[in-house]
Structure 1
């Protein structure tokens, strides 16, 4: 199973990913580590990334996801994945790009059953407070509004498990573990 931990900046994606990775012993791939330097510099200046800025990053993360899937491993990938189109690129790589002549056009591809999005959602004010308090991150708190404006919350058919960030880290991790166990039981029953 591949869980892609998604949501706006500052919602706790990396924190949840590290907690789950340590608890379950699964590899964690932190999306921020795969950004080209030009993207990091742009965000550090307070400039929002364009879809074109994100393409190489999303395609690289698609390769990471595919490598984990092909190895049969369970893994976590942290990526904001704010738009449906971005999530399609994570799932299908360059095939998602050729399926659409426009970046805004929806791609009618379903999510593979071994990939789920963990959508961390919460109140703007709570997330903004968290961003102001964190140190050493290139994503500035004043860019949060643009993240909320771009966000297209995932739909049920995208294999999504919504997680309210007002809950404790341990509660969210338990929900993910129970989800994983229930998926295993469904697969066994389906055989």
Structure 2
């Protein structure tokens, strides 16, 4: 099974994703690690990525997902996956790929971004992230106001095949 924990920057994808992977007993990958140096540089300067920047990144993520699936391995990914088209590339609709949408208010996300240290993504990108976001209709939706462990418990209760 592949689980994609998605949402805007600052929603808690990495925290929840790592905890979910640990609970499921599988590996975890952060999609940020798949970005090119050029993409990271753009984001650090507060320049929103365009689709042309994202396609190679999404394709490399999908290749990693396919490799995991081919080996019969489960993995949890933290990935923004903001648009429907991006989720399609990542495997939306496949029976062994589940999306978890970390949903929260811009105010709460802004508070989290202001407190975050050491991340390459510039907090000024928040507005463009929310503008790009197309809320999924086929995902497990959880509120980011809850504690990470509570979010994981909610996801586990609703994860297909569990």
> Normalising to structure 2: TM-score of the pair?
0.95
| Separation in structure 2 between the aligned mates of residue 44 and residue 111 of structure 1, nearest angstrom | 33
- Greater RCO (CA < 8 Å, at least 6 residues apart): 2
What CA deviation, in whole Å up to 9, does each residue of 1:119-157 have, x standing for no partner? 00101010011011010111111110110001001113x
Q: Residue 122 of structure 2 aligns with which residue?
A: 140
Using the TM superposition, give the Cα deviation of residue 69 of structure 1 relative to its aligned residue in structure 2, in angstroms. Answer: 1.4
1:16-63 Cα deviation digits (max 9, x unpaired):
011122222210011000100000001111100000001110000001
Find the structure with the greater CA-based Rg: 1
Q: Write out per-residue CA displacement over residues 84-116 of structure 1, whole angstroms, 9 at most, x where no aligned residue.
A: 11111112xxxxxxxxxxxxxxxxxx6011111
Aligned partner of residue 88 in structure 1, secondary structure: helix
**C-alpha RMSD of the superposition:** 1.2
2:48 corresponds in structure 1 to: 48
Counterpart for residue 121 of structure 1: 103
Please report the TM-score for the alignment, with normalisation by the length of structure 1: 0.81
Matched, 1:150 2:150: no
Aligned length: 162
1:177 to 153, 156, 161: 156
| Contact map agreement 2:46 2:123 (CA 8 A) in 1 | no
